[in-house]
Amino acid sequence: MKRFSEEEYHLPFFDENDYIRRICPRCGEYFWTQNPDQTLCGESNAAGCSEYKFIDNPPIRKSYSLREMREKFLSFFEKNDHERVRPYPIVARWRDDLYFTNASIIDFQPYVTEGLIPPPANPLVISQPCVRFLDVDNVGPTFGRHLTIFEMGGHHAFNSSEKEVYWKDETVRFHHEFVTEELGVKSEEVIYKEGVWSGGGNAGPDVESIINGLEVATLVFMKYKVVGGEFVELPIRTVDTGYGIERFTWLSKGSVSCFHAAYDRLLDKIFDIAGIGRVEDKILIEASRLSGMMESSRLHSKGWIWKRISERTGVDYEEVESILSPVLGAFAIADHTKCIAFLLAEGIVPSNVREGYFARLIIRRAYRILRSLSIENRIADIVDMQIDYWSNDFPHLKDMRDEIIDILLIEVEKFKRTLSRGSTLIKRKIKELKSEGAAEFPVEALIELYDSHGILPESVKDVAEKAGVRTVIPENFYGLIAERHLQPSQTSEEAVQSELDEKVKDLPETRMLYYEDPYLSDFKAKILKVLGDAVILDQTAFYPEGGGQPADHGYLEFNGGRVRVVNVEKHGKVIVHFVDGSIPEGLEVRGVIDWSRRISLMRHHTATHIINAAARHVLGEHVWQAGAQKEVDRSRLDISHYKRLSLSEVHKIERLANEIVCMNLPVEVMWAPREEAERRYGFRLYQGGVVPGREIRIVKIGDWDVEACGGTHCKSTGEVGMIKIIRTERIQDGVERLIFAAGPSALKRIQEYESKLYRISEMMEVPVEKVDRSLHNLISEFKVLRKDRENLIGKVASYEAERYLAEASVINGLKVIIKIVGDAGIDQMIKVADNIVKLEPKAVVALFKVDGNVRIIVMVGEDARRRGLRADEIVREASVKVGGGGSGRPDFAQGGGSLTNNMEEAISEIKRFIIKKIG
């Protein structure tokens, strides 16, 4: 990590207030203090520089609730000429490089911080809910220093060459005034520690405010962009501050944990549900004072803390652990269930990818902890309590209550099924590890089982150690897996710049006629450049592939000749046409669009917007577009949804979409500055993902739907024509795919279905309107016949079993039946063999059948198995002789091969094997 010189931190404020600079001999960091006797930096951290000194001794003159502290912070900066800004969502849908808002500055990156758009106010103040998952394992054990969900108070100023708002010195003065004059902390109790901050692609020096051991704020002076590990100066110097609203609340109360301060009566309810009684003050206070030093991945682990508490209180180590473990579990539940409520309220559907991965992680971790407290059945109740507790400040929680609880309960049921089948997968992995000579379950294997199958490491440990395989679960296990999934991966297209980009970068921007008039079907243009089969024009009506819409096709006509346009791409600001022939540079050409293709794509693209909004109206606000691809005769729309769509839901979506078509709503297309568009329409704009650029193109369908979109569209919904949802698919957990057709393509699909229905009615010799009833009767009759057939097979199998037993050979007291059957099917062969071993536990049955290949069924009765015979071993020996293989269980196995001429040899091998095995 880059270090900055003292000059970056040596501020007039420090000189005026008698602060002196020291280096901490324990953590090696520089800090500023008013106390000349201060040798350590005073922060309670993994290096052990201090304990918490505010526990049961708050340095703030008054006790504040979280809501009061939030308002105190916002009001102070409002009084100091900052404009209050509403918090942004916790899902960072305006970013393509991260999933969640993990700091208040994320709201303004990269567009504001890089000077591309103006900030919503300057200076501004905000209290931003944030989520972070890297330290999830520390939530609970550190008594609230780590949280997955928290509020970050930020006062931000954006300085440019045109406008200097304020910078380092004023930032520190604002902070000091807030903590000393507003909150009443003594000036000498405030230590400023030097640091370097980097995040969201930006970086800069920072000072961290430490009060009585607790870091309460980080003041970042962000002036660099991180490019390839190097710091590049930005045109905007940003004051990026982060005040921990929960931490200030904790500091004001001096309570034994931040959870007591932030959750108050809600934490009491969780303790009551978990049956956690009153814990001795001396144990909790000592644990709290030491908790700041604990980090799961560092020197001071939980075990180290337990030992220190035991030494200080005289309580046995094991008793300390048994007392505190459920308390820490309840702390984590308070945090995790709030996080669940906020994530699901913003439309995240638990899954194995992207944002959904973390929703699933936190739900499963919460469920595991609740199960350890024997209250896993109360997870929905506790989340519901969180909704009640926070909805006054965040009313969208109450609006989404039903969806939150429904999504949660379905996800819990999925997890229960995962747990029930986990044992088999774990045993299979253990067998594989033992075959490799491994004595310990590798961490990578633990992660693989969790990532691929959702199996908890604790479940693995239980099964593995019984099988003699040592299993050590890293204390930061969930942080490790979170880190692997935290940032979106780049596609190969994003990661590698096209050679063509480089070749056309100096050409003038192509005029995009398809935006000026999407109904333009032919145009004139001049050829600027020809690069093999790539042609660049000065202007074009050909739409380039993008946003899930395929490129236009058509022709370029010139001097009596023409070439076909087979693909169109956008490279930077230049549109490139790929043709199937040669054409010279400098000519004027006439472009002709394949209009039937274009209008069909326009209909399907507009229909995509209509259906997406219809799905949201029918299914709930959690629905977001997860992908789309438009085609000429049909298209697909992927939406986030937590369960399979029912036929009734599909019909409702389809009906609603067609109602919008019939209303003939206007489809308006406009360009707007990004900040204005977000202010007017919110972040629902980004249905298709992040849209780059200072200005964004908006497609608005009446009051029905509005999205940022770069595609071509009809002028009104009436032009789309009929919409027909052909089918739906579950493409991955949490994502439903709707495949649909629009306009004439929809009519074609309906007529195809109608033709099939008429053919079925003719085959059944019934009118169309009676097909369903007649088919129901036919299937019912078929089921009866199938049942009769099964009964008959059973009777025949019983008869055959008795006949085969009567003809059995006796080998050393066992009855051995080896037969070649004729026309019997495999099911009948199995029934016969099963009846034999039920009638005679000493029986060994091997039935052969030839149907192009040799099929072998082997069953071994209970008494025969006691004498060492196994069906899986017998079938393998026989199958080898016919050029194949077999497998199964000790009592039942199947096999076979292709060498039909060797069947007699296989039969002889079975007899030899039995004699050899039982002597």
Q: Which of 611, 707, 713 minimizes the C-alpha distance to 655?
A: 611
Bridge partners of residue 511, in order along the sequence: 539
pLDDT tens string 597-646 = 999 999 999 999 999 999 999 999 899 888 888 888 999 999 999 889 99
Q: What integer pLDDT is reported at residue 437 of this predicted model?
A: 74
CB 319 within 8 A of CB 308: no
Query: Among residues 647, 644, 631, which one has the least CA distance to residue 597?
Result: 631
Q: How far apart are the C-alpha atoms of 65 and 253, rounded to whole Å? A: 9
Which H helix or E strand runs over 337?
helix 317-345
- The confidence score (pLDDT) of residue 812 equals 86
Query: Looking at 122-259, which runs of residues are DSSP E strands?
Result: 124-131, 149-159, 190-199, 202-211, 214-227, 230-244
Q: What pLDDT is attached to residue 646?
A: 93
Per residue in 205-263, pLDDT tens?
999 999 999 999 999 998 888 887 778 888 889 999 999 999 999 999 999 999 999 99
Which DSSP string corresponds to 293-320?
T--TTSSS-HHHHHHHHHHHH---HHHH
Q: Which residues contact 354 (CB under 8 A, 6 or more apart)?
A: 99, 488
Positions in the chain whose pLDDT score sits under 70: 1-2, 200, 295-302, 487-498, 919
Q: Which of 375, 139, 376 is nearest to 272 (CA)?
A: 375
What is the DSSP code (8-state) at residue 583?
-
Contact 599, 564 (CB under 8 A): no
Instruction: Find, among 354, 613, 314, the residue nearest to 484 by Cα.
Output: 354
In terms of C-beta density within 10 A (0-12 exposed, 13-18 middle, 19 or more buried), how is residue 748 classed? middle
Residue from 362, 357, 345, 367 nearest 415 by CA: 367
In Å, what is the CA distance from 651 to each residue of 88, 391, 720, 725, 735?
Answer: 35, 34, 18, 8, 18
Contact 207, 172 (CB under 8 A): yes
Residue that is written with structure tokens 């935290």 in the block: 486
CA dihedral sign, ordered 545, 550, 551, 552: negative
Q: Which helix (H) or strand (E) holds 847?
A: strand 843-850
User: Rg for the chain (alpha carbons), in Å?
Assistant: 35
d(C-alpha 196, C-alpha 156), whole Å: 18
